[in-house]
Amino acid sequence: MKVVLLSGGGGGARFARGLDGVLAPGELTVIGNVGDDLEILGLHVSPDLDSLLYTLAGLIDLERGWGRAGETWNALESAGAWGGESWFRVGDLDIGLHLVRTQALRDGVPLSEVTEQLAGRAGVQSRILPATDDRLRTKVVTPAGTFPFQEWYVGRGHRDDVDAVEYDGAADATPAPGVLAALAAADAILIAPSNPYLSIGPIVAIQPIRQAIERRGVRCVAVSPLVGGAAVTGPAGRMLSRMAGGATPRHVTDCYVGLIDRLVIDESDFAAEAPVELVMAKTLMSDHEAERRLADVVLETSCA
């Protein structure tokens, strides 16, 4: 069974690990968000692709939820002491990856190719593809001004309310090689329990990707990032309340009009009416077993 997952780097990466655990090697292709990417200290960082890579390779720091286990921070501390930027946290082990990727990009290797090489070296059996090799950057419009994504998220601790999200470069971006082919060959298309505005929005803002999903011949199933009317982590609940008018399953479906056939929601989020079929499940991924159980339910509902 060939499965394509659209994903961010948090809830998305953990759901990807669940799928990776129940599917056969090579059956899963993850299309990762690049709207969060940034250049810091001269290094190209792709936070969502890295979270996917670290999670699927078993290298992620499980407690922190991002970056590598056993990380140290000497390079960043030194950079800060020398007057460099240190607001965006990159650890020593993490920097090793950023150095290799940045050099490859400067040598003209596309992001998709570098990502594939890195995933191969880490022994990841699922395929991780950036949504695009082109420059696509998320910007957040707030009452305090418009900020590049990481300046708002990390720099300002995502405190400001969000009025709108912009995807700079999306209109001209082309899908990375392999993305449209994977969508065309998929037996099921899945949207991870990721932030609809910040993680999935930038992917489906790339028109050929949106059109491929709109014209799908197979079922597309999303998993809600809400549990009990709130996001499990991060600002999705607040953003849905302010921009969609509420944080219920129906408001999640409003973000995916024309893109999904079913929404898997948590049992604590029962909602009477929604424009697509709602499927109840335990969606809190508290451990690896819960990730795999959720993956099984979602795969089943994508075929049944």
For ligand GDP, the binding residues (CB under 6 A) are 7-12, 48, 192-195, 198-199, 223-225, 227, 231-234, 236, 283-285
* CA distances from residue 243 to 118, 164, 177, 208 in whole angstroms, order as listed: 37, 7, 33, 25
Tokens of 57: 């390779």
- Residue 58, Cβ neighbours under 10 Å: how many? 12
Cβ(50)–Cβ(130) below 8 Å: no
Q: Which is nearer to ligand GDP, 103 or 233 (CB)?
A: 233
Of 7 and 102, the one with the shorter C-beta distance to ligand GDP is 7
What is the smallest separation between the CB atom of 103 and ligand GDP, expressed in angstroms? 25
Taking the alpha carbons of 50, 119, 122, 232 in that order, is the dihedral positive or negative?
positive
How far apart are CB 215 and ligand GDP at their closest, in Å? Answer: 25
Q: Which is nearer to ligand GDP, 161 or 215 (CB)?
A: 161
Amino acid at 208: P
Pick between residue 12 and residue 249 the one whose CB is nearest to ligand GDP: 12
Task: Output the six-digit token pair for 160.
Answer: 């400001």
Smallest distance, ligand GDP to C-beta of residue 89, A: 13
Q: Which is nearer to ligand GDP, 36 or 133 (CB)?
A: 36
Nearer to ligand GDP, 99 or 284 (CB): 284
The least distance separating ligand GDP from the CB of residue 51, rounded to whole angstroms, comes to 6
Place of tokens 């950036």: 130
E strand or H helix at 236, and its extent?
helix 236-239
Shortest Å distance, C-beta 12 to ligand GDP: 3
Residue 266 CA: distances (Å) to CA of 54, 193, 282, 299: 26, 11, 5, 16
* Shortest distance (Å) from residue 81 CB to ligand GDP: 29
Shortest spacing between CB 262 and ligand GDP, in angstroms: 15
C-beta nearest to ligand GDP: residue: 11
- Cα maximum dimension of the chain: 58
What is the residue-wise DSSP string for 187-217? SEEEE-SS-IIIIIHHHHTSHHHHHHHHT-S
Q: Which is nearer to ligand GDP, 76 or 191 (CB)?
A: 191
Q: How do 38-40 and 43-45 pair as beta strands?
A: antiparallel
